[in-house]
């Protein structure tokens, strides 16, 4: 997956300008889809559009080889520190699976 880098900070969100120094020249880097669970929340009462898949986890994944973290969804049981990889992108959402 792609991350955008400047001033020692990486983010998966593409920005026009670096929020720190204001440069428009953010470096685009290709990094691994793998990461570890940094934090998560199990959603039991979801928004209407996700009612059919509840309960599910909203996970914050610390990606490998970058400072960037990405928010995604993961089904099943999960613990902080679990190794995960990107399974697919669904309607703009990052869907992770354990590895």
Residues in contact with Zn ion by CB under 5 A are 6-7, 18, 20-21
Contacts of 48 (CB under 8 A, 6+ apart): none
Q: Are the beta carbons of 47 and 61 closer than 8 angstroms?
A: no
Q: Identify which of residues 7 and 53 has a Cβ nearer to Zn ion in the complex.
A: 7
Q: How far is the CB of 8 from Zn ion (least distance, A)?
A: 8
Q: Are the beta carbons of 30 and 68 closer than 8 angstroms?
A: no
Q: How far is the CB of 25 from Zn ion (least distance, A)?
A: 9
Q: Identify which of residues 15 and 42 has a Cβ nearer to Zn ion in the complex.
A: 15
Q: How far is the CB of 9 from Zn ion (least distance, A)?
A: 8
Q: Identify which of residues 20 and 41 has a Cβ nearer to Zn ion in the complex.
A: 20
Gap between the Cα atoms of 80 and 36, Å rounded: 8
How many C-beta atoms lie closer than 10 Å to residue 38's C-beta? 15
Q: Identify which of residues 5 and 57 has a Cβ nearer to Zn ion in the complex.
A: 5
Q: How far is the CB of 11 from Zn ion (least distance, A)?
A: 11
Gap between the Cα atoms of 64 and 21, Å rounded: 25
């Amino acid at each position: 997956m792609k991350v955008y880098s400047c001033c020692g900070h990486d983010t998966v969100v593409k920005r026009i300008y670096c929020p720190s120094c204001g440069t428009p020249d953010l470096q685009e880097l290709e990094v691994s889809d793998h990461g570890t669970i940094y934090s998560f929340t199990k959603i039991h009462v979801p928004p209407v559009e996700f009612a059919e898949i509840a309960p599910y986890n909203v996970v914050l994944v610390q990606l490998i080889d970058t400072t960037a973290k990405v928010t995604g969804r993961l089904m099943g049981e999960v613990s902080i520190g679990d190794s995960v990889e990107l399974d697919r992108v669904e309607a703009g959402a990052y869907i992770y699976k354990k590895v």
